[in-house]
Amino acid sequence: MTTPIFKRVLDDDFAKLPSEIQRTHLTTEISRWQGRSAIDRGPGIWPRLLCALFRFPPAQDDIAVTVTKTVTPKGETWVRQFGRHRFQSHLSVRDGVMHERFGPFTFAIGLTVADGALHYPVQAGRLGPIPLPRWLLPISVAREYVVGGLFHFDVALRAPITRRAMVRYRGHLRQA
């Protein structure tokens, strides 16, 4: 059996995470997580265009969310379903770094563990084979954490160039 990708990237730091976060990243075939979420969208045409491109869900105060993680030969595919809106990405490990692909865009994620939370800052990006300059990268303030024994996520993305709020989705999940 292959070691789950988050354990491979985080190595000894994986054990520093609360068990509720560890469990969500120990998928060996398929795992499904359900909960509730709130979504905010940034104002302006540029953030709206980017949200449409990446298929991020529209703003909602309280919506059902399901995350299905499927192990593939090259990593994991995550399908996120917010009500009727769905978007997906593929995570893989290359040279000890987590990469997340959304269509033709791939981002290197600098996974770090701090204060009992898992953080997902974007470090680099590509459009197909072309490296993106730093000013074309989104700013990601994303973390997973535990409150009252329940897994929580909070993902806030700022648009490249303008640095204006693009999307923020946050909530909690339990194994389905």
Q: What is the CATH number of the domain that holds 50?
A: 2.40.128
Tell me the pLDDT tens digit for each residue of 152-170: 999 999 999 999 999 999 9
pLDDT-above-70 percentage for the chain: 99
Mean pLDDT of 131-160: 96
pLDDT digits (tens, 9 = 90+) for 30-64: 999 999 999 999 999 999 999 999 999 999 999 99
| Domains contained in the chain, number | 1
pLDDT at residue 154 in the model: 98
Q: List Cβ neighbours of 108 (8 Å cut-off, separation of 6 or more).
A: 97, 98, 99, 122, 123, 124, 125
Mean predicted confidence (pLDDT) in 68-93:
96
Q: What is the pLDDT of residue 113?
A: 97
Q: What kind and span of H or E run contains 117?
A: strand 117-119
How far apart are alpha carbons 60 and 97 in whole angstroms?
33
pTM of the model: 0.93
In sequence order, the 6+-apart residues with CB closer than 8 A to the CB of 11 are none
- What is the CA angle 120-123-129, rounded to 5? 120
Residue 3 is predicted with a pLDDT of: 85
pLDDT of 143 higher than 70: yes
Mean pLDDT of 59-86: 96
Q: What is the mean pLDDT of residues 128-148?
A: 96
Mean pLDDT for the stretch of residues 15-23: 97
Residue 1: band (very low, low, confident or very high) from pLDDT cuts 50, 70, 90: low
Domain of 162?
5-175
Residue 111 has pLDDT above 70, yes or no: yes
To the nearest 10°, report the CA torsion of 136, 47, 40, 69. Answer: -50
